[in-house]
Amino acid sequence: MMKSISTTLLSSALLIAGISSSAADEPIIIKFSHVVAEQTPKGQGALLFKEAVEKALPGKVSVEVYPNSSLFGDGQEMDALLIGDVHMLAPSPSKLEYYSKQTQLFDLPFLFDDFDAVAQFAKSDAGKSILTSMEKSGITGLAYWNNGMKQMSANKPLREPKDARGLKFRVQASTVLEDQYKAIRANPRKMSFAEVYQGLQTGVVNGTENTYSNYYSQKVHEVQNYITESDHGPIVYMVVTNTKFWESLPTEIQQTLMTILDEVSVEVNRRAYDLNMQDKANILAEGSTEIITLTPEEREKWREAMQPVWKKYEKVIGPHLIQAALDANRHSSSSSDAP
C-alpha cells in the first residue's frame, strides 16, 4: 500500500522540489501526538502518515509521532494544539464538542448501523461539513480515521438494559455518552484512556465501552469478564491541525499532505476492520473473557432504551446531520462487512 502512496505522490513531490532552497534549509516539523498504542488503527495511521510524508518531502517536512500519551494526555492535547505545542492530533469527536456541537453526532447511540455506514457518512458533504465546523476556534479538520464499532464490557453479563443498572461505566469526556448510560440507569464516570485499566482493576469503575482493538491493546479484557457485542456506536478519530499552522504552510505542501492523508485514511480504515476482527479472536483465544452475541431482539431493546438521547441533542447537532447518518446506513446496507 505504501508503494501505491509513493507512486501517487511522485508528481507532487517533483512540484515541491521547486520550492526555494531557503525554505528547504530547515525542514518543517510536524508534531503528531496521540494517546493510544502504536499497533492500534490510530497508531498505525500516524506512522503511515510519517513514512509517506518523509518519502514524498525528504528534507522538507519531518513528522514526529508521540504515541501512548508520551507527549500530551487526554486532558492536555487540545490545549497543546491551540497554543502550537503540537501540530496534529487525531482525537475522538467527544474531545471536540466544546469547539463544535456537530461533533457530538458520532456519540449518539445506535445511530450508525455498522462500520461501512460510518465510512459512507465520512465522505459525504455532511461529513465534510463537520471537519470545517471548528475553524472559528482555530482548529482545522483534515480527515476521519475509523477505529471500529464499540462494544460494552462488565464483570457481569449484559444482555438487556436492566443488566447495566447501577454499574459504573467509564466514558470519555462526552455529555452524550454520559446521557447514554444515564438512560439505562447506569452511572457514567469520565476517565482518561490511560487510566482505564487501573480504574477497572481497582473497582473505581466496573464497566466500559470500546473497540476490540482498544480492549486488546490496553489489556482491558484481563479485568473484564464479559464483552457484549453491541456495535452501539463508532469510535471515529478526526485528524485535526492548528489552523494558523496549517495556513502558514506553502500551498504545495498543504496539497501534498492532503493527498497523503486521503491515501492513508483509506488504508487506516481497511486495517481497522481487520485488526478488530483479529483482536476479537485474540481475546477469545485467551479464554478469560466471554463475548456475548445479542439477538436482533435483544439489540433492539438496547436501542430503544438509549434512543431518547437523540431527541435531546437533535437541535444542537442538527437534524440534517442525523438524517445524513441514517441515509448512510441505507447506502451501506448492500455493502460487504469490510469497508
| Within a domain: 4 | no
* Average of per-residue pLDDT values in the chain: 91
pLDDT in tens, 39-53: 888 999 999 999 999
| Within a domain: 14 | no
Residues 6+ apart with CB under 8 A from 278: none
pLDDT in tens, 264-300: 999 999 999 999 999 999 999 999 999 999 999 999 9
- Give the pLDDT band of residue 182 (cuts 50, 70, 90): very high
| Within a domain: 114 | yes
| Within a domain: 21 | no
| Within a domain: 319 | yes
| Within a domain: 1 | no
Show the cell assigned to 37.
498504542
Task: Name the pairing type of β-strands 28-33 and 88-89.
Answer: parallel
Q: How many domains does the chain have?
A: 1
Using the predicted structure, report yes or no on whether residue 336 has a pLDDT greater than 50: no
pLDDT in tens, 52-72: 999 999 999 999 999 998 888
Residue 239 Cα to chain centre, angstroms = 9
Using the predicted structure, report yes or no on whether residue 20 has a pLDDT greater than 90: no
Using CB atoms within 10 Å of the CB of residue 252, give its burial: 0 to 12 exposed, 13 to 18 middle, 19+ buried.
middle
pLDDT in tens, 210-263: 999 999 998 999 999 999 999 999 999 999 999 999 999 999 999 999 999 999
Using the predicted structure, report yes or no on whether residue 204 has a pLDDT greater than 80: yes
CATH number where 200 lies: 3.40.190.170
| Within a domain: 339 | no
| Within a domain: 6 | no
| pLDDT attached to residue 103 | 97
Domain of residue 237 covers 28-332
DSSP assignment of 168-233, as one string? EEEE-S-HHHHHHHHTTT-EEEE--GGGHHHHHHHTS-SEEEE-HHHHHHTTGGGG-SEEEE---S
